[in-house]
Chains A and B, each alone.
Chain A
Amino acid sequence: MPLRTLPALALGLALLAPAAADVRESAIHAAFVLNFARYVEWPAGALSPERVLDVCFLSAAEPVGREIAAFKDRPVQGQRVEVHRGVRVADLGECDVVYLGEQDEYRLQEALRALTGQPVLTVGSLKGFAPAGGMIGLYREADRVRFEVNLDAVNRNGLRLSAQLLKLARIVHSGDTP
């Protein structure tokens, strides 16, 4: 009977969890998202005149959206950061920055299509995000987070990224195999 092994499994489980403080990938992604926004030049008039930078998440359950709340007090390019979670695809065009994560796998194409030609910075963590038409894709190399930039996508939407940022990025193109 598998029942008899249960207490042993429970004990094993308890031992598996070390108490050390973790550096969560989602927290690093959140820090990256706001940092990227410091190196982006939006076309004139694209940012709201109320000096608010709207950072949007498609999925309300996206952990990065939850993490970013801890960072949003620092203004970005003089703009106050406002976080919106659970934004409908049709409303993504109203945002300045959109983050698309693991939860959005099945809405990614639709979201990117909705943002075609819009001056909205897209950051994503799904594999192949940048080659699929996203602007900045976050990926992991060993235990470090890296990023790649699809310049065609950036330029097509009228944004400009600073050379300082591009220097640190891997450059990819639309349609590259991820």
Chain B
Amino acid sequence: MRLAIRLLAGLAAALALLPAAAAEAPLAELSIEELLNIEVTSVSKKPQRLSESASAVFVITQEDIRRSGATSVPELLRMVPGANVSRINANSWAVSIRGFNNQFANKLLVLQDGRALYTPLFAGVIWEVQNPMLEDVERIEVIRGPGAAVWGANAVNGVINIITKHSGDTQGGLAVAGAGTEERAFGAYRQGIALGEDRYLRLYAKAAETDASPRLGGGAGADDGRGLRAGFRSDQAIEAGSLTVLGDVYRVGAGDTFSVTSLAPPYGAVLREDKAFAGAHLLGRWQRTLAGGDTVSLQGYLDHTRMESPQILEETRNTLDLELQHRLRLGTSQDMIWGLGYRHSRDSITGGETYQFNPTSARTDLISAFLQDEIGLVPERWRLILGARAEHDERTGFQLQPNARLLWTPETGHSLWAAVSRAVRTPSRTERDARVNFLVLPPVPPSLPATQFSMLGNRDLQAEKLLALDLGYRGQLGPRLGLELAAFRYRYEDVIRRTHGTPVVEGAHVLVPFVWQNIDKGETWGGEAALDWRLSDTARAALAYSYLDADFFIGDQPKHSASLRSPSTSRRARSWISGSSAPAPSRRA
């Protein structure tokens, strides 16, 4: 892997030496008539506008965030059609897109400012920890459907991108404070500083405490939470480009209960113990506009996370991630983006009698390359997007994740799109290397020994595969009425499920093994409809409906769900009604 790093560094150095877009034309002297005749030779590449992309996209803007009253990211995600969001208890959430929802939902990729929030431990997101200062979030993009060709493995059912504001847009001080009976107390302070002509810095700190829920039988539940985090972001313009550096440190505590087992009396107990999370990360992104308007960016981050539940499990993980992207125009009708990536992740896990990991320390080196080409077949009417990502790591081998998308705009304001994609979800560390002794039946003297039920990891697991068909329509039905429709049919293969093994005698007890295996397959289908009606300059109504069905087990989320949101901008009235046909998912055993 050292080779990869050296090559990336060399490439970056070569790019830095390229002549930048430069030279001031005496434009200031020109009249409007003359300006109209100037030929533009450099148009900076804009990322594809999501509102014109060939995929199902929902964007939560800063205004939506402010008007929602939400205090966490999962709470905000409730407004997204097709997203399954359930609050399990006061401190934990289950979030997924288009099914498979539970606390350890594993088919969704979540990023914040280009950093993956996904933990390889269980291939999901620990939402208790992901709590940015919402006032500094610029937007949250939610892409339903596979995004693997660009984003990589695990972007199976969707991608969530949390994007924070440029530090130049958060100048000055901002204090937030609140208190309540459940969200007991929360507060945050941010200070933005202009360091120079084009250099800005933002510092922030945030603290929150959540009360435990009352238990049915009286007393307090083990779902209280508290968190403290601080961080910074700096942005500066450098010649023909920009440099962004950001970082965070945090400490989060969350109450929880665990079932623990032992082969000696008492054999089983429910333990109440806090999970303590701590971590820090540092990210740098350098972007440069080349002559002609092409752009190059190089990003790297270091991420350190630690989870501690002394009697259950302790995990320490360090990640290094490097990514290079180059966006260029080919001819007049092609817009291409390609990139290379390298991610190194090393962990160290200490278990107890209930949770055991073998090996206790593991590393993965993931190398990836992707290419996406957007071809204008007929200007303003037909666009074809072809892309693929190749990834390799030692444990799961080589994965190819291609997609093809077609966008048709029969007339301005109306577009139809279709996409076929393949995506994979790589097995988590737990599914591969963990042994969870989840139940022990005490011995029955004189003849029956103790019986231990265990979930065993499987090192031969393959990635889960998805072949997806997505369709959509996006239209402006009137000056104030917008409609979005999306439909999908997904075929999953090699889905990892728990299987029964044959009981064996292990020492002085009987072991009833359960093993993770790639044995399931099935299809899901459904769609979402979202109507956005601007009633007046200040009032808006957003009506959404989602449907989801499957021919195999995909969790407990509702089949039908609907919501009506009226984020009035007059600040006087706001309403939000939502309903669904089935109960929230239960926590997985």
Contacts and interface: CB of A to CB of B under 8 A. Distances in A.
Nearest to A110: B63
Contacts of B413: 177-178
B431 interface: no
B69 interface: no
Interface string B174-207: 0000000000000000000000011010000000
A171 to B, nearest CB: 16
Nearest to B60: A106
A59 B166 CA distance: 8
Contact of A23 (B11, B40, B537): B40
A168 B28 CA distance: 19
Interface string A1-44: 11100110110011011111111111110111011100100000
A85 B28 contact: no
A2 B400 CA distance: 12
A17 B14 contact: no
B44 interface: yes
A63 B37 CA distance: 21
B292 interface: yes
Contact of A27 (B14, B25, B31): B25
The size class of the interface chain B forms with chain A is 35 or more
Interface string A95-109: 000000011011101
A10 B10 contact: yes
Nearest to B31: A35
B444 interface: no
B362 to A, nearest CB: 23
Nearest to B21: A22
Interface in B41-74: 41-44, 46, 49, 51, 59, 61-63
A48 interface: no
B359 interface: no
B14 A168 contact: no
A74 interface: yes
Contacts of B166: 59-61, 86, 103
A86 B168 CA distance: 5
A20 B291 CA distance: 8
A23 B37 CA distance: 12
Given A35-B32, A175-B479, A85 B42 contact: no
B25 A23 contact: yes
B3 A3 contact: yes
Contacts of B237: 66
Interface in B328-378: 328, 338, 340, 367, 369
Nearest to A103: B166
Nearest to A35: B32
Interface string B477-491: 011100000000000
B481 to A, nearest CB: 11
B412 interface: yes
B276 interface: no
Q: Which of B11, B293, B328 has the most CB of A within 10 A?
A: B11
B28 A113 contact: no
Nearest to B391: A2
B14 A10 contact: yes
A35 B35 contact: yes
12 contacts: A6-B7, A14-B15, A18-B292, A23-B38, A23-B41, A30-B27, A31-B27, A31-B30, A58-B169, A106-B59, A116-B537, A175-B480
Given A7-B10, A28-B38, A145-B36, 7 more contacts: A10-B10, A23-B41, A31-B27, A35-B35, A61-B235, A127-B49, A177-B411
Q: Which 3 A-B pairs have the closest CB atoms?
A: A60-B168, A175-B479, A21-B23
